[in-house]
Amino acid sequence: MSQPDFSLGPLAGLRVLDLSTMLAGPYGATLLGDMGADVIKIESHYGDESRHLGPKRGDQRGPYLSLNRSKRAMVLDLQQPEAQEVFAKMAATADIVVVNVREPAMSKLGINYEQIKKHKPDIIWIWVTSFGADGPYAGRPGIDFLAQGYTGVLSLNGEPKGAPVRTGFPAVDVMTSLLVANAALAALRVRDATGEGQRIDVSLLDTLMHAQASSIGGYLATGEVPVRTGNRSLYFAPSGVYPTKDGKYVVITTPGEKFFGNICRALGTDWDQDPRFCNIDQRLKNEDELDRVISEGTRKFTREELVEKLIAADVLTAPINEVEDVVKDPQILHNKMIVSTRHPTLGELKVTGVPVHFHGTPVSVKKHPPLQGEHTRELLAELGYGKDEIDHLISKGLAADYAELLRLREARRAKKAQG
């Protein structure tokens, strides 16, 4: 067997089938694609749910575009046995499968572990669930928000006297996607050594429990119940969000005495000599007053002026950027975390970049987020189907390419218009 071309990434030569929808599963498969794997997104005629949610650009939806780069896409109607036969041929070429379909639908579609293992005995099969593959909550529908409720994250997020607040981005889904990719890589190492694939279960619930080592773990270790602190810290002060002259905000935090002294020097004060603020214990005791005087000091400067002044004084600070600021941030751009790709119908499309930087086998965004069914014909041809056979599969509704999906969509619109 020839060695893969690792200039395409460290996972070049591997094939991943993405049978998942929404965020955690698809985004995990995306990262594998960024690292060089040939990721094939297999969808029904309806498609990934993220194709139907959120703001549109052209006929494409933002959530789908943001999560599904570095893939090829095909449409198979796995509810039909003949389409499952086509899928069996595709599964036999795969190394990893990512799925988040619940039972009994998963088995009816022919994509559970034992079913796929018949086609590829050494398959690495990753099932993403909300609460776990078995147990009292198994089989329930769930999303990021619910996991935050069950694991107590909602009770710890927000202002101390306010209502619980969820994270402003799908943190649990994103963390789960990283575990999906991490688990796949670990299983590949085992397979390389033993020749054996395996089943892997990853859940949103377990991911968020893992992420709470400092809160739940702290409670288990000490019995001390963590409390909601808003932007403040339980352990030191000042730590929070402070206003600026131009109506914006900055973060300032001080996990050490020297940083508080640096703030004082930067703002031209001697607060560190004030008995109320002279050490961490006193500052925590007088935190309301401390935040008041610091806010008076920060309001004398614009956000840009203040951040520049504080950074020069070696203060732990950051601007609170709006989204428009984030995509222009010089360090984010330098790290190539905003990159361009060419989309067949939208033209230039900017997406977030790859968060790991390999120096020996560089990685990058490999492909645009594919149109639904964009590569159906190409992939069927790779499996050995001739043009007439592919036309037959599409005409019978077993498969579909993008053109066929557009035709079906227009037919439905015309039928609806006729009443």
Same domain, 177 and 312: no
Residue 234's pLDDT is: 87
Residue 308 clears pLDDT 90, i.e. is over it: yes
What's the average model confidence in pLDDT over 110-136? 97
Residue 211 clears pLDDT 90, i.e. is over it: yes
Residue 272's pLDDT is: 94
Query: Is residue 96 in some structural domain?
Result: yes
Query: Is residue 101 in some structural domain?
Result: yes
What's the average model confidence in pLDDT over 5-32? 97
Same domain, 26 and 140: yes
Same domain, 178 and 251: no
Residue 416's pLDDT is: 86
Residue 1 clears pLDDT 70, i.e. is over it: no
Assigned token pair, 61: 């939806």
Same domain, 38 and 176: yes
Residue 405's pLDDT is: 97
Assigned token pair, 152: 């107590």
Q: Whole domain around residue 79: which residue ranges?
A: 6-211+356-413
DSSP annotation string for 66-78: HH--S-EEEEE-T
Q: What is the pLDDT of residues 372-409, one digit of tens each?
A: 999 999 999 999 999 999 999 999 999 999 999 999 99
Q: What is the pLDDT of residues 291-302, one digit of tens each?
A: 999 999 999 999
Residue 88, CA atoms < 13 Å, CB-side half-sphere: 11
Residue 54's pLDDT is: 95
Query: Is residue 23 in some structural domain?
Result: yes
Domain boundary residue, one of 275, 308, 326: 326
Residue 326, CA atoms < 13 Å, CB-side half-sphere: 8
Helices (H), 216-269: 216-222, 257-267
Residue 415's pLDDT is: 87
Query: Is residue 335 in some structural domain?
Result: no
Residue 214's pLDDT is: 87
Assigned token pair, 281: 């214990």
Q: Which residues contact 65 (CB under 8 A, 6 or more apart)?
A: 57, 343, 349, 351, 369
Residue 136 clears pLDDT 80, i.e. is over it: yes
| Band of pLDDT at residue 220, cut at 50, 70 and 90 | very high
Mean residue pLDDT of the chain comes to 96
Q: Which residues contact 124 (CB under 8 A, 6 or more apart)?
A: 95, 96, 97, 184, 187, 188, 191, 197, 198, 200
Is the Cβ–Cβ distance between 233 and 259 less than 8 Å?
A: no
Residue 419 clears pLDDT 80, i.e. is over it: no
Same domain, 164 and 269: no
Closest to 56 (Cα-Cα) out of 67, 45, 65: 65
C-alpha dihedral (186, 189, 193, 196), degrees to nearest 10: 60
**Counting Cβ atoms within 10 Å, is residue 221 exposed (0-12), middle (13-18) or buried (19+)?**
exposed
Q: Phi, psi at residue 96, to the nearest 5°?
A: -135, 140
pTM: 0.94
Q: Which residues contact 351 (CB under 8 A, 6 or more apart)?
A: 65, 66, 69, 338, 339, 340, 341, 365, 369
Q: What is the pLDDT of residues 243-260, one digit of tens each?
A: 999 999 999 999 989 999
Q: What is the pLDDT of residues 46-63, one digit of tens each?
A: 999 999 999 999 999 999
Same domain, 187 and 77: yes
Total domains in the fold of the chain: 2
